[in-house]
Amino acid sequence: MAGKRQTKAQLLEELETLRLRVEELEKRERHPKRAESGKGENGDSLRTLVENMNDVLYTLDADGLITYISPAITPILEYDPSELIGRSLWGLVYEEDLFLAKDQFQKIIATGRVIRREYRVLDRSGKIRWLRTSGKPSYKEDEVIGLRGVATDVTKRKWAEERLHLLSQAVEQSSEGIALSDLEGNVLFANKAFADLHGYEVEEIIGKHISIFHTPEQIPAAEEAIRQVRDRGKFIGESWHARRDGTVFPGLMHNSLLRGSRGRPIGVMEMLRDITDLKKAEEKLRENQTELERRVKERTADLMKAKEDLTSELKRGKETMNHLITYQRRLRSLASELTLTEERERRQIAAYLHDNIGHALAMARIKLDSLRSLVASADVAASLDDATDMIKAAIQEVRSLTFELSPPVLHELGFAEAVDWLAEQFHKVNGISCTVAIDGQVNPLADEISIFLFHSVRELLVNVAKHAGAKSTAISINRDEEHIVIKVEDDGVGFSPSKSDSYFQENGGFGLFSIRERFESIGGTMAIASQPGKGCCVTLSAPLSIGPLVP
């Protein structure tokens, strides 16, 4: 520092010498004859002094053209002095400051006074540099011929001032409170936001101790924050503050230790934000969370109860389903048993008709025939013939009824042959062609299944004869793994598939409804396919046997 102060003193001394020398030169310009004696060693030493100065010396003519500029300009604008001599100073001045530079020049020329100004100029690369200039008129025989001036590069200072200004604006306009205090806690600076948070004007808190921003109860926490700043260099956390009116508010603090150029602590910077709204939001959030937990607990309890109820309901449903399955099995067994029982009754009735009534009618016919040969009377003979014809018709009716009740062919020859016989009878009785196609793999069939299928096919043929208006009918019998599949097709009037249920209820009666129910009870199916004018196809599928009967 001492070396720098001495250099500055020497420079001031040199500038004073230069000033005196300039005045002497001005006098010589006004009185040329006296100037002859001034040449020599003094002129050389003056030139050496000027060329080694840090400040720029320059001269301008009356139009602002540079007539001389010292070498000190080169580090500033990156021009050699020879490149600038003869150029207009105004070509170097930044456009926004051109009026300011020309105004300085004109006022110096007009008034003869020294005028100092700061303005911007452009270096060779187009970058901005700041110069502080001062000048005075130069004369020739008492006539102003231009200007002599001194320029100093103040770019770094101006940039520092601008950065300082920007920093000051940022601090002043910040929404967060910012304050600077010394190590003893006395406020050195505070922005408006910091003062407003505590209910003061900025001027009122400068020089005051930071304890005025805390209640006695808050002081220990504030002192702990200061201790952490001194020990660790910073403190970040929440702290309660007091306003001028005695009200308190929670704040989020970010305090940092400030150090001087030599690294020694010189103060503390405090950044403060009022988090009252945040605290209220947190409290509201906690309340909402508590309420949510309560509702979740209630809802969970409701769900658990609903789960228990549903479990109980499912258990009851499962039990009901098991009962239904049991009932279905029983129904299937009963249906099978009913079919067998019905068939047994049919066979017994058929046997009774054949063995008793049929035999009695046959014996009566034989006796009538014997009696007819012994009668001579024509009238009595005619009556006996009529009686014989009636007995013959009765015998035929008994025989047909026997086949209707229980065709012997079903029990003696099997299901396939019984269906073939049924087709022949259908054609004889109704005059409708009926063909039968058998794949030969339908055996073996359980008795109850064969009986059930035979009666179902007969019921379907009866329905064709009554309602289909068909000319031909086809029956197919096939085996599909453990099922037998029977199709009964006709070329009759048909009907819409969507109306199949109502059609069979109206036209098929209880018989077809019974067929469907019985098929479902034994694990089989009945499917109907038909279109108006294209006939009808009924497909029956049944297992080859029925499982054990369920009691």
Mean pLDDT within 114-119:
91
Q: What confidence score (pLDDT) does residue 305 get? A: 92
Mean pLDDT within 91-99:
94
Using a pLDDT cut of 70, give the percent of the chain over it: 82
Please report whether residue 338 resides in a domain.
no
Of 243-257, 381-395, 480-494, least confident by mean pLDDT is 381-395
Please report whether residue 288 resides in a domain.
no
Domain match, 112 and 229 both: no
**78 pLDDT more than 70:** yes
Per DSSP, 418 falls in state H
Q: What confidence score (pLDDT) does residue 125 get? A: 94
Amino acid identity at 37: S
Q: Which residue range forms the structural domain that includes residue 144?
A: 2-154
Q: What confidence score (pLDDT) does residue 159 get? A: 92
Domain match, 131 and 20 both: yes
CA 8 to chain centre: 72
Q: Name the domain boundary from 240, 274, 308.
A: 274
Please report whether residue 325 resides in a domain.
no
Of 57-71, 459-473, 534-548, least confident by mean pLDDT is 534-548
Q: What is the mean pLDDT of the chain?
A: 82
Please report whether residue 44 resides in a domain.
yes
User: Which SS3 state, helix, strand or coil, does residue 226 take?
Assistant: helix
**6 pLDDT more than 50:** no
Using a pLDDT cut of 90, give the percent of the chain over it: 38
Q: Name the domain boundary from 154, 182, 198.
A: 154
Please report whether residue 214 resides in a domain.
yes
Q: What confidence score (pLDDT) does residue 1 get? A: 40
CA 357 to chain centre: 88
Tell the residue number behind the tokens 């009200």, with chain if given: 247
Per DSSP, 65 falls in state B
CA distance 332 to 523: 8
Domain match, 508 and 536 both: yes
Please report whether residue 296 resides in a domain.
no
Q: What confidence score (pLDDT) does residue 8 get? A: 47
Mean pLDDT within 473-502:
82
How many CB atoms neighbour CB 51 within 10 A?
Answer: 12
**500 pLDDT more than 70:** no
Q: What confidence score (pLDDT) does residue 421 get? A: 87
Task: Note the helical H segments in 271-430.
Answer: 276-352, 358-374, 378-405, 408-412, 415-430
Q: How confident is the model at residue 385 (pLDDT cuts 50, 70, 90)?
A: confident
CATH code, domain with 202: 3.30.450.20
Q: What confidence score (pLDDT) does residue 546 get? A: 66
Report the domain count for the chain: 3
Please report whether residue 305 resides in a domain.
no
Q: How confident is the model at residue 134 (pLDDT cuts 50, 70, 90)?
A: very high
Domain match, 149 and 179 both: no
User: Helix (H) and strand (E) counts for the chain?
Assistant: 18, 15
CATH code, domain with 514: 3.30.565.10
Q: How confident is the model at residue 42 (pLDDT cuts 50, 70, 90)?
A: low
User: Which SS3 state, helix, strand or coil, does residue 258 take?
Assistant: strand
Q: How confident is the model at residue 374 (pLDDT cuts 50, 70, 90)?
A: confident
For 63-85, letters b (16+ CB in 10 Å) and e give: ebbbeebbebbbebbeeebeebe
**415 pLDDT more than 60:** yes
Task: Pick the more confident residue, 100 or 340.
Answer: 100
Task: Pick the more confident residue, 407 or 285.
Answer: 285
Task: Pick the more confident residue, 31 or 353.
Answer: 353
Domain match, 107 and 16 both: yes
**Greatest mean pLDDT range, 30-34, 35-39, 65-69:** 65-69
Contacts 24+ apart (CB under 8 A), 389-394: 391/361, 391/364, 391/365, 392/365, 394/361
Q: What confidence score (pLDDT) does residue 334 get? A: 72
Domain match, 421 and 535 both: yes
Contacts 24+ apart (CB under 8 A), 532-535: 532/493, 532/494, 532/495, 532/496, 533/493, 533/494, 534/494, 535/468, 535/470, 535/489, 535/490, 535/491, 535/492, 535/493, 535/494
Q: How confident is the model at residue 499 (pLDDT cuts 50, 70, 90)?
A: low
Of 49-53, 175-179, 303-307, least confident by mean pLDDT is 49-53
Mean pLDDT within 307-330:
85
Q: What confidence score (pLDDT) does residue 287 get? A: 92
Domain match, 213 and 78 both: no
**Greatest mean pLDDT range, 57-66, 369-378, 532-541:** 57-66
Domain match, 148 and 203 both: no
How many CB atoms neighbour CB 231 within 10 A?
Answer: 10
Q: What confidence score (pLDDT) does residue 118 get? A: 94
Q: Name the domain boundary from 274, 296, 319.
A: 274
Please report whether residue 326 resides in a domain.
no
Domain match, 24 and 111 both: yes
Contacts 24+ apart (CB under 8 A), 346-349: 346/405, 346/406, 347/405, 347/406, 347/411, 349/405, 349/406
Domain match, 18 and 138 both: yes
What pLDDT, in 10s, does the model give residues 276-304?
A: 999 999 999 999 999 999 999 999 999 99
Domain match, 205 and 137 both: no
Domain match, 147 and 259 both: no
**Greatest mean pLDDT range, 128-142, 158-172, 407-421:** 128-142
